[in-house]
Amino acid sequence: MKRIGVLALQGAVREHVQKLESLGCEAVLVKQENDLEQLDGLVLPGGESTTIRKLLDRYELLEPIRTLAQQRLPMFGTCAGLILLAKELVNYMPHLAVMDVVVARNSYGRQIDSFEVKLDIPQIGEAIPAVFIRAPHIVSAGEGVDVLARHDGRIVLAKDNHLLGCSFHPELTSDTRILEYFVSSMV
Ligand code: GLN
């Protein structure tokens, strides 16, 4: 059984845990450094990246997670989790700085803070529901990065080797295909 950690400091933690369990994985809540032991993969959920960053510092998790990413532990960042992974952020200092993408926060303007679309993702499937909530987007991606999906011309899902990041919240719909892609083809 695959053991997948879910960073459990703030945000959509429970939804990821339920989805991982429904896919037959063991989900481990990560709140302190020893929770990171013997994981096969790690999910960084959506929430508020500045809050999650403060808590990562308080619980001394930033360096241990960065080290695991450098050791190629598969990681999946959704929304704020993508912001945490990005090597570069527009107008902000980066956090883990491990995924070769430049990310802009809150890219979708106030009047459409939240919306749902259906994405066709050739590597994963068709009409996959994607919920965007004050979502970031990937402004540019390095050479080794596979761009998996765009919405309105903007990159919203990308894979940098063992790191997967998306702008939206796949855990907030009943569709498990993106998480399944992470768990079965990357972990
Ligand atoms: N706007 C949030 C941030 O900047 C991300 C939103 C989300 O995770 N739904 O961290």
The yes-or-no verdict on residue 108 having pLDDT over 90 is no
Q: 171 catalytic, yes or no?
A: yes
20-25: long-range contacts, CB 8 A cutoff, minimum separation 24? 20/179, 20/183, 22/176, 23/176, 23/179, 23/180, 23/183, 25/1, 25/183
**Residues within a 6 A CB radius of ligand 1:** 46-49, 79-80, 83, 105-106, 133-134
127 in Cβ contact with 120 (< 8 Å): yes
Least confident of 48-57, 108-117, 122-131: 108-117
d(CA 85, ligand 1 centre) in Å: 13
Give the span between the Cα atoms of 9 and 119, in whole angstroms: 29
Q: 79 catalytic, yes or no?
A: yes
Instruction: Compute and round to an integer the Cα radius of gyration of the chain.
Output: 15
Identify the band that residue 113 occupies on the pLDDT scale cut at 50, 70 and 90: confident
Kindly report the average pLDDT of the chain as a whole number.
97
Segment 7-24, tens digit of pLDDT: 999 999 999 999 999 999
Instruction: Write down the catalytic residue from 95, 137, 151, 169.
Output: 169
Segment 172-185, tens digit of pLDDT: 999 999 999 999 99
The domains located in the chain, with CATH, are 3-184 (3.40.50.880)
d(CA 6, ligand 1 centre) in Å: 17
Residue 112 is predicted with a pLDDT of 67
